[in-house]
């Protein structure tokens, strides 16, 4: 068993639950932190479950993660919630202010490394002629991404003041069984055989990442000996068009793809009339990430290609054979 104890916030979330299981399989002692009741996927003596205060509370979290060597912070708010305050201020309170408070408490408790799950969207929604790199200026108008960007700045301040190792991981859209992103709609449409007007959406290139590749990278950060304190883009390292993504999902499901042609310019116009410009960007524009830094710094590479990641998703969610 490893001598490191790793605490995971948001242990009940899509990423958190998979991460906890992977850490246990890697023989780490794990503290699963969640504000709601956590039901583990398996019984393991290395797993300790602790109910935690709300992120917005002023309570001391240190009793929850006390004794941890590393904290992986996956908890946060990712989107608008019906009936709740969906302002930028509220997103920043959860994703930025609370993260800063948590990090200071972690440093005071002797935590050596703080791994923060941020978002590739902090640098914008459209990459243009070249792929984004980590040093690109933050350029997002999305409340979620802005709050993550503010959190990154505050964590760098915590690093300077406390000396705690701070690692910032910026994934694109994450797919896998249990996903809740807009990408889930594509999987559902293909499963139901819904015809989609994306046969001509073949010129854009977008980065994405399977849950397995993301977890593998995070554990690589956990294992690393020595100081990191870096920011990393991660992806499957294979950028594909919207049309190609749908065709590959169909192939993974062993289903035909029902794509018919409508000009992308026409689809963008319709989206604009419906007030869905941001959705059109995600469907038809480039969003490419350069993950050279992650590969060179750790000697890491994604263990699954896009086809393998999609096939595994289908195998778990729909019982399809790989």
Residues with active-site annotation: 144
The torsion angle over the Cα atoms of residues 5, 15, 220 and 99, rounded to 10 degrees, is -70
Q: Name the nearest CA neighbour of 246 among 263, 259, 260.
A: 259
Q: Name the nearest CA neighbour of 120 among 101, 139, 100.
A: 139
b or e along 95-107 (b: 16 or more beta carbons within 10 Å of the residue's beta carbon)?
bbbbbbbbbbbbb
DSSP label of 259:
B
Q: Return the structure tokens found at 175.
A: 């797919």
DSSP string over 9-57: ETTTSHHHHHHHHHHHHTT-EEEEEESS----SS--TTEEEEE---TTS
- The answer to whether 30 and 24 have CB atoms below 8 angstroms apart is yes
């Amino acid at each position: 068993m490893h001598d490191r104890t790793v605490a995971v916030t948001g242990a009940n979330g899509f990423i958190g639950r998979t991460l906890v299981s992977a850490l246990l399989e890697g023989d780490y002692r794990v503290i699963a932190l969640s504000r709601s009741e956590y039901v583990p996927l398996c019984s393991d003596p290395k797993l300790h479950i602790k109910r935690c205060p709300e992120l917005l509370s002023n309570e001391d979290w240190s009793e929850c993660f006390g004794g941890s060597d590393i904290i992986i912070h996956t908890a946060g708010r990712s989107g608008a919630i019906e009936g709740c305050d969906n302002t930028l201020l509220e997103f920043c309170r959860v994703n930025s202010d609370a993260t800063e408070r948590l990090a200071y408490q972690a440093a005071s408790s002797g935590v050596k490394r703080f791994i923060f799950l941020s978002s590739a969207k902090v640098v914008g929604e459209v990459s243009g002629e070249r792929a984004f790199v980590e040093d690109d200026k933050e350029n997002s108008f999305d409340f979620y991404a802005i709050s993550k960007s503010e959190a990154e700045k505050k964590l760098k301040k915590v690093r300077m003041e406390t000396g705690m190792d701070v690692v910032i991981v910026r994934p694109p859209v994450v797919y896998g069984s249990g996903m809740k992103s807009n990408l889930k709609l594509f999987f559902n449409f293909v499963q139901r055989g819904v015809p989609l007007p994306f046969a001509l959406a073949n010129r854009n290139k977008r980065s994405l990442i399977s849950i397995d590749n993301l977890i593998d990278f995070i554990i690589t950060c956990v294992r690393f000996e020595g100081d990191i304190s870096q920011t990393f883009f991660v992806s499957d390292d294979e950028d594909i068009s919207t049309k190609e993504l749908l065709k590959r999902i169909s192939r993974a499901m062993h289903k035909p793809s029902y794509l018919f042609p409508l000009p992308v310019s026409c689809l963008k116009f319709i989206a604009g009339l419906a007030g869905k410009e941001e959705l059109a960007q995600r469907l038809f524009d480039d969003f490419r990430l350069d993950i050279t830094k992650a590969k060179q710094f750790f000697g890491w590479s994604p263990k699954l290609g896009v086809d393998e990641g999609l096939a595994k998703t289908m195998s778990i969610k729909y019982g399809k054979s790989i």
